[in-house]
Amino acid sequence: MSSAPRKPRTTLTRERVLDEAWELIRAEGTDGLSMRALSQRLGVVPMALYRHVHDKDDLLDGLLDRLTARVPIPGPRVAPRTAVERVARGIRDEVVDNPALVPALVLRPSLGPSAYRMGERVLGAFVQLGLTVDDATRAWNAVSIYALGFGVFAAPRRVDGGFPGSLGAFAERVTPEADTLAAASEVDRTEWVSDAQFDLGLRALLDGLLTAR
Amino acid sequence: MSSAPRKPRTTLTRERVLDEAWELIRAEGTDGLSMRALSQRLGVVPMALYRHVHDKDDLLDGLLDRLTARVPIPGPRVAPRTAVERVARGIRDEVVDNPALVPALVLRPSLGPSAYRMGERVLGAFVQLGLTVDDATRAWNAVSIYALGFGVFAAPRRVDGGFPGSLGAFAERVTPEADTLAAASEVDRTEWVSDAQFDLGLRALLDGLLTAR
DNA sequence: AGGTGTTGTGTACGGCGTACACATTCGCGT
DNA sequence: ACGCGAATGTGTACGCCGTACACAACACCT
């Protein structure tokens, strides 16, 4: 009998690499995802990954498409404005709970097949709402930027305080008559991520986009 | 006579480090700013920088505050709504033409003294427009996110095309009946960064924020 | 003149992405 | 059944990165 220990071949696929990368970056954060760490998790030498992924950027693109694919796309029966709102909220939700992907997201525009499917649905909705195709495109730009921006800047990140002393004290030091800010500064942190906050802006944006021209 | 070559002492200051870092990152992009490259530009050994900067993150924070400080803050004579619009546009402009700072911007919330001065002015404007302090805070959140988001996602980045074949062809492959997207896809790239695009969304957002509650 | 604190130096470590040559193994046509 | 080419995993190595730590040069004050 042959005594050579058999490694089960083709144990690696692009799918498996992406699966493991997804879990790794979720568990360990942006910096936790390295080719070396990932390969180790897969019980393989680092360079093995490069048979299934062009380079690290390619891997990140794959992860971003997965993120996009997680946003539920409303069926055709859903009313157009509702559909837009759901997609916008879906984008925000996914970004917010995958903060480790934010740096990658910011370096790459939409791309990915999933992003296109999403765009298709939303553009259709805007057209149903009476916009021309061009205006629909502009509206989708504005809405997606808002949703992405909200996700990006609302996602939990380094919250090291930043300033010596309290916020109010700081504001007063900068501009002695800064009572407005000092008073307001109590609000923002807790409410920053809230649904109400998001919806307020989104509704305002859509109202503006859809009325008169 | 002493023959030892004299180095002029205290040639380095935090200011000079930040100045040079600013120019370096503008010239060479995000990845071009390394402690080693920066030190070389300053004619100094890498570790010398650490006397004036805690670590690289501290350096980036300094650069971000400089970026924020570049946004012009309208004087008290400027009408409140105009003031808000100018600040929003100023934020977008600075982000757009300092794309190399986007990754850093995204990892760190506002912070910095300049950001506070800016907030102070805008919150005041919203209050003048009849909002309560809390509502003003929420409004400022929405507006700043929109402006930052627009800057971030409109800033020129990797535009490697991404897909094999034309955009229209791709869209058709994904969903055969994708004429809407295929038609629309001609528009976005060129108009993505336009002022009109930005103003459209901003005006919509402000209208929504300021009317009825 | 000497002591003290500040500022720049030198060396070194551990991590990263990945180029390149090599070994193994699978699948196919004969 | 077999052999050969393509596909897949391995090993080694290079050049970057941020920065910890011990040391040297110098400025300034007494």
Whether residue B201 lies within 8 A of chain A, CB to CB, comes out as: yes
How far: B202 CA to C1 C1' (Å)? Answer: 70
Q: Along the 213 residues of chain B, how does pLDDT read in single tens digits?
A: 433 344 445 689 999 999 999 999 999 999 999 999 999 999 999 999 999 999 999 999 999 999 999 999 999 999 999 999 999 999 999 999 999 999 999 987 666 889 888 998 999 999 999 998 888 888 888 899 889 998 998 776 654 433 333 444 555 555 555 566 666 555 554 455 578 878 988 998 999 899 855
Q: Which of B176, B101, B200 is nearest to A206 (CA)?
A: B200
Q: With contacts defined as CB-CB under 8 Å, which chain A residues touch B209?
A: 200-201, 204
Burial track A129-148 (b if 16+ CB lie within 10 A, e otherwise)? bebebebbbbbbbbbbbbbb
Dihedral of the alpha carbons of B155, B156, B158, B161, in degrees to the nearest 10: 110
Alpha helix stretches (DSSP H) within A31-78: 35-41, 56-69
| Angstroms from A204 CA to nearest CA on chain B | 4
CB-based contacts of A1, cutoff 8 Å, min separation 6: none
CA distance A29 to A8: 30
Q: With contacts defined as CB-CB under 8 Å, which chain B residues touch A115?
A: none
Q: Is the pTM of this model over 0.85?
A: yes
Interhelix angle A195-210/B195-210, rounded to 10 degrees, is 120
| Angstroms from B4 CA to nearest CA on chain A | 43
Q: With contacts defined as CB-CB under 8 Å, which chain A residues touch B149?
A: 145-146, 148-150, 152-153
CA dist list (Å): A178 to A29, B75, B117:
38, 15, 9
Tell me B72's DSSP state: P
Q: With contacts defined as CB-CB under 8 Å, which chain A residues touch B106?
A: 102-103, 106, 152-153
Question: Nearest protein residue to C10's C1' (by CA)?
Answer: B45
Dihedral of the alpha carbons of A100, A158, B112, B151, in degrees to the nearest 10: 10
Cross-chain residue pair A197–B142, CB shorter than 8 Å = yes
Q: Cα(first)–Cα(last) distance of chain B, in Å?
A: 82
Residue A101 near residue A64, CB atoms below 8 Å: yes
CB-based contacts of B49, cutoff 8 Å, min separation 6: B12, B17, B35, B38, B39, B42, B59
Residue A100 near residue A131, CB atoms below 8 Å: no
| Angstroms from B158 CA to nearest CA on chain A | 6
Q: How many other C-beta atoms can be found within 10 angstroms of the C-beta atom of residue A65?
A: 17
Q: Which nucleotides of C are covered by protein (CB under 7 A)?
A: 7-12, 15-21, 24-27
CB-based contacts of A112, cutoff 8 Å, min separation 6: A61, A64, A65, A68, A69
